[in-house]
Amino acid sequence: MNRVFLFLPLVIFLVMGLYFGLGLRQDPSAIPSQQIDRPLPEFDLPGIADGEPGLSSADLVGQVSLLNVFGSWCPPCAIEHPMLMQISRSGRVPIYGVDWRDRPGDGAAWLARHGNPFARVGDDPQGRLAIDLGITGAPETFVIDQEGRVRFHHVGIVDETVWRDTLLPVIVALEAE
């Protein structure tokens, strides 16, 4: 029996072990966003209450903006909300909202209670737009450039650190283009 062959199992095992060790640092449920550098899918969502204007893909063209997917049923969205209010009050970039899978009226009531940071809100009760955006949960936030292309996709809560260290640099870079 060739010496080389006999040590092969050990070598293969050590290589696997290395991968496993590296794998411990990964989040197995995180999937990479497919939307980066793609134009937003065309959509035209109705408003979340009677008389309210909705949100369409045309609204996001012309300036760098944020698109935030939320729902009244989503606790982390409530946690993130004050930060969105802060960004909205500062006027740095407009924020547009997508009300995902809410029953009629729930989204509007929630915004009335917590405050509305959104320039416009679209109602997506069936989650069609969410699927087209590759959403897996709420909240998720996109950075859209002047031409209406998705340039960044953040999964999870936007807090002070995320805004300052992750989103703002992207926004600044896009505005410079």
Partner 1 sequence: MIAELGQFALILAFVVALFQSVAIFAGLRTGDAVVHGFARTGAIAQFVLVLAAFACLTWLFAVSDFTALVVAENSHTDKPMLYKLTGVWGNHEGSMLLWALILTGYTGALAWSAKPVEARLISLTFAVQSLITAAFTAFLLFTSNPFARLWPGPENGQDLNPLLQDPGLASHPPMLYAGYVGFSITFSFALAALIDGRVDARWARIVRPWALAAWTFLTIGIALGASWAYYELGWGGWWAWDPVENASLMPWLAGTAFIHSLRVMEKRDTLKAWTILLALLTFALSMAGAFLVRSGVLTSVHAFAVDPERGVFILAILVALIGGSLLIYGLRAGLLKPTGVFSGISRESTLLVNNLVLAAACGLVFFGTFYPLFITTVSDETITIGAPFYNNTFNPMLGALLVLVPVSGMLAWKRGRLMPVLKDLAPAALAALAGGVAAFWIADRGLVAGALGTGLAIWIALGVLIDLAKRFKLFQIEFRASLARAARLPLGIWGMAVAHFGLAVVVFAITGVSAWKQETSAFLMPGQHLDIRQLTLTLDDVEQVEGANYVAERGYLTARRDQQVVSNLVAERRHYPVRGMATTESAIHARLTGDIYVTIGQPNPERGWPVFVYIYPFAIWLWIGSAILGLGGLLSIADQGRRALGVGRSPVPIRAKPEVAE
Partner 2 sequence: MRPMARLLLLTMLPLLLLSASPAMATPGPDERMADEALEVRARALYRSLRCVVCQSQSIDESNAPLALDMRAVVRERLLAGDSDVEVRAWLRSDYGEYVLMMPPVQGNTLFLWLFPVIALVGGGILLVFFVRSQSARAAQPLDMNEEAELARLRDEEAQS
Q: What is the number of alpha carbons within 13 Å of residue 34 lying toward its C-beta?
A: 8
**What track of x and - describes contact with partner 2 for positions 29 through 48 (by CB under 8 A)?**
x-xx-x--------------
**What is the nearest approach in angstroms of partner 2 to the Cβ of residue 77?**
13
Residue 37, helix vs strand vs coil: coil
Strand partners, 140: 69, 155
Contacted entry of partner 1, partner 2, none for residue 127, CB cut-off 5 to 8 Å set by kind: partner 2
DSSP structural state of residue 91? T
Of the ranges 49-57, 102-110, 135-143, 151-159, which one interacts with partner 2 (CB under 8 A)?
135-143
Asked whether the beta carbons of 150 and 57 are under 8 A apart, the reply is: no
CB of 172 to partner 1, least distance (A): 24
Residue 169: CA count within 13 A, CB half-sphere: 5
Residue 168 tokens read as: 């703002």
Choices 16-24, 88-96, 109-117, 149-157; region in contact with partner 1 by CB under 8 A: 16-24
Write out the residues near partner 2 by the rule CB under 8 A.
29, 31-32, 34, 101, 126-128, 130-137
